[in-house]
Structure 1
């Protein structure tokens, strides 16, 4: 059985005090020659010394822990975003705690208290829909946190805290423009949860795009879904029977449900109906390879969140009273990009 190498073992082997070894290995200021500093670092590597994080926290006043609070970890988009954020955090030397609120304000409140008590260095928060509606309470919750907070993905249209997200309105509008440009006029929309600000933004952009092109949506082609496979599947019969030649789904999972039902009816995308999804989350799972969709730039979102978090942590270390993420908040809005995969058919003489 191997014996854990302790800090005092490194100090003894390097011929220095435990305090000196601690300061060097934690990159803290100390009056010491470069050669002696180098010796301590090389000795630690040779002995395969792994710092005790609790002890290190006492010296550096950091836990090297970040947290991500998501509404639904089973959602493909949130799961993919969590992975990317964890990857970027690891590149900065941080570990990430992922917690799930089940999109409930009460659970979110309890988790915020628990995470703050664990002395995390920062929090990426994707608020529950209930919290989005109760923005004053959400602001109070975030303000009480003792670490930097970045509101992630769900842009609340408020400027009181750092936030990073995607321009959902722009994505929806582009979807309308693409379908109109391909000659479609009987165009349907399957939106997500009506309580979802992201879904409503996508739908608003889509409807505005259709109206400005002179083809306002027919109410019977405007269907409310719930972001799940079943709602896309269940909407398919009605939309096809009412003559829709193209459909915009506010996420890829509903689009997949729509495709499955059409296949059961012996119909194909795009021959019998053009289709656009949103999120670009299914292709890596081996499904939706032919689905034209919108990519929110998850990798860029994670990178932007993490770099902003590192900036805020650094500022806080310099001045513990300086809550810059609240006092001078920055909002990063990323533009979605369309990924063409052949599920949109041109039914006019116009070309894309």
Structure 2
């Protein structure tokens, strides 16, 4: 049987009410007596009702760490993750990190909350947080990104294959001057999409006709597209490393009087809801978000997958959705 408060009182040589006050934040109690009671409780393995309740809540909680909620793709991920967790009677705790900040800033808060698992998306996982979670037996899964420098579980779309599919589509539809707008150059999503795209072009004897960086943002891509589409000999096709940058590129092209899908073809990557809007009709690589989330939750719920493991990488194919932009 679990140790009781009465047994703690007996072991510490204090009253039952003193034990209650020792485990009540802000309650009046001599500091030395509080230490005496807590030591006795630890020695016999007593856990207070409040702590048992907190641990039960934590064991049923999944924490999501996101760093780019201005990108419509990640609120979409958040929405679908929340719905899948609700179906399994689990709770979701969300931390939104400022741009450029890694997970070190919230490591202590996450450890204090002691969730069953942490899912990190669109944020850089620090080795410090990975190590801390491993030490505290908290599972961590990276969603939609891969970090080779940290041994951690990762679930990602086949970004390399998606980049290849984009280049193949441009080539087979007769595009000759194919441009590229990249994201944040040190992220796995940018690196793999760019690599697959350029490898397929190279295989066809072609090279990128104009390249710029849009930092995965609308405003960054707007400036990048403005540069690429200025002057004669501009690209007749542009691959944007995510959908929000593709929407900016379409806006720039329209402002210049270009016909989308004719004068210039545009393809994005992600499959955000706005891609299908009438004013854009964006051809894109649709990420298998629901399956990626299911895989992440399966990894979290799998007792054979332990926080101390070296981690594994699961890559899931996306699909090319063709609309009028290309």
Q: 1:284 to 1:266 in 2, by over 3 A?
A: closer
Select which of 48, 72, 76 maps to 2:72.
76
Is the 8 Å Cα contact of residues 71 and 101 (structure 1) preserved in structure 2?
yes
Shift of 1:59: 8.6
Separation of aligned partners in 2, 1:99 and 1:61: 17
CA deviations over 1:187-217 (Å, ceiling 9, x no partner): 0001112232211211111111111110012
Gaps of 5+ in 1: 1-52, 316-322, 345-352
Secondary structure of the 1:277 match is strand
The equivalent residue for 1:123 is 118
Separation of aligned partners in 2, 1:191 and 1:223: 6
Is the 8 Å Cα contact of residues 186 and 244 (structure 1) preserved in structure 2?
yes
Shift of 1:287: 5.9
Q: 1:124 to 1:342 in 2, by over 3 A?
A: same
Separation of aligned partners in 2, 1:213 and 1:285: 30
Q: 1:114 to 1:308 in 2, by over 3 A?
A: same
Separation of aligned partners in 1, 2:178 and 2:55: 61
Separation of aligned partners in 1, 2:272 and 2:54: 41
Shift of 1:141: 3.9
Select which of 82, 86, 103 maps to 1:86.
82
CA deviations over 1:60-109 (Å, ceiling 9, x no partner): 68531111011122221111111111111111110100101224445x21
Separation of aligned partners in 1, 2:175 and 2:114: 55
Please show how residues 35-184 of structure 1 align to structure 2 within 5 Å.
57=53, 63-105=59-101, 108-126=103-121, 128-129=123-124, 131=125, 136-137=127-128, 139-157=130-148, 160-184=151-175
Q: 1:270 to 1:260 in 2, by over 3 A?
A: same
Q: 1:102 to 1:141 in 2, by over 3 A?
A: farther
Separation of aligned partners in 2, 1:56 and 1:287: 53
Q: 1:127 to 1:193 in 2, by over 3 A?
A: closer
- Give runs of ≥4 in structure 1 deviating > 6 Å: none
The equivalent residue for 2:12 is none
Q: Normalised by the size of structure 2, how large is the TM-score? A: 0.76
Secondary structure of the 1:278 match is strand
Q: 1:247 to 1:88 in 2, by over 3 A?
A: same
